[in-house]
Amino acid sequence: MADYRNLIGGKLVPAADGKTMNSVNPATGEVWTTIPASGPKDAEAAVAAAQEAFPHWSAMPALGRAYFLRKVSELFAQHAEELARLETRDNGRILRDTLKKDLPGMSHLWQLAAGQCLDAVKGDTVILGPDALGMTRREPYGVAVCIIPWNSPISTFSAKAAFALAAGNTVIVKPAEQASVSVLRLGELLAEVFPPGVLNIVSGMGEDVGDALVRHRGVGKISLTGSTVTGQAITRASADSLKPMTFELGGKSPNIVFPDADLEAAAQGITVNSIFTGNAGQVCVAGSRILIHRSIWDEVLERTQRIAESLILDEPLDLATTMGPIVSAGQYERVVSYLEVAEKEGAELVFGGRTGAEVVPHLPGGYWVSPTLYTTGDNGLRICQEEIFGPVAVAIPFDTDEEALAIANDSPYGLAAGLWTRDLGRAHRFIRDLRSGTVWVNTFRQMPPGLPFGGVKDSGYGHDSVLAYTREKAAIIQI
């Protein structure tokens, strides 16, 4: 087994107390390596290292920071296949996505962040009168803690760390305990890029090292991508120090199909591009509520089932595989429990519902759940209101635009929404009236780095960008 370590102060180190935790391959259920099980001492060391590095890094000219970020972009290009394979083995996200989509995209994202370093040092001037001038300047928060999820570790790492560093903050990344390996390996590579302490990576359980980080008064900013429950816990833990936070949390995104839509494109969009493929529904924006106009109900369900049944569930490292396993035993048990909930609630199973070795017999120890779709006329069911975070969707019929909008907004979440229509007026009305951070029209799950991405309601607030990692200071000058 490889010996993965934390990155603290430019050095690769084990947890302070020597504890480790297992990393499990979700396709087989087998332990394949270990990672540091860090605690409060490691959090303290990481904050101290980041604080020590902050004065020099924040004072560096923007173009100097851009130089380092471009080096990271080059590193991604050089190590793409290694990092992609590690991530796939660690969390089950299929290789055709980690290798063909995630890693090339991250190389571009670090280039984009490098180009935005100057935005972080720009301010405004206001003429207050003939003898007075007002001005603003942007300043980094100091130490930024970035807490990332297990479904797309490298992508989320980049979306947070790149912009935090571009803004002049020093950074501590806390990866999810279920999938830390790709980020820890990335730390080994980045130790040769950044000055010591500028970027730190500490793995471990959230209640141990994560809690210590968010409570630490030396931390100036927190950014989390994770569950709503985790966001609430971090808010409570950090209340004493009133840290500014950016939260991208859970979702129960509606995907709405109208009669005038390209139905084949819509069927692809509500299956392949929305919930089942890639991460097996383990994405916060998954279109897990499919709203279908009653006049096209049967046709859309038939097309959806045909596409879902054509998916290939197998070893995630095989480029022919189109859907992988659930990330961990705990998450697998959660998803399976919702199959039982759906049955008790009276939802009708259209297809799927198979689990474990029944899905992939030659990988009997893996955490497998087949693409699953239920139907119901009651949006109040638990499977309609609660985030399952797996390949389980529910279809709901509607008759009018007003009814579709009411069902779509009837959710505690508001991360994203999709609609499939050729009616431009309808599209603009729904963009205006849907209570969500992002609306996709005739597409789904596109998140280009040039646009903000965040939610409303229980899906969080704010978004990761260069300016989000700065605060404004005002100055008034009497001439």
Q: End-to-end alpha-carbon separation of the chain, Å?
A: 67
Whether 137 contacts 472, CB under 8 Å: yes
Q: Which amino acid is at 193?
A: V
How many CA atoms lie within 13 Å of 79's alpha carbon, on the beta-carbon side? 18
Q: 319: which 2 tokens?
A: 């480029």
* Parallel, antiparallel or unpaired: strands 221-225 and 245-248: parallel
Strand positions, DSSP E, 226-362: 245-248, 254-257, 289-293, 348-351
Greatest extent of the chain over all pairs of C-alpha atoms, in Å: 80
CA–CA gap between residue 383 and residue 401 (Å, rounded): 23
CA–CA gap between residue 281 and residue 149 (Å, rounded): 14
Is 299 a catalytic site residue? no
Whether 332 contacts 437, CB under 8 Å: no
Whether 404 contacts 296, CB under 8 Å: no
177, 248, 315, 387: the catalytic one is 248
> So which residues are the catalytic ones?
248
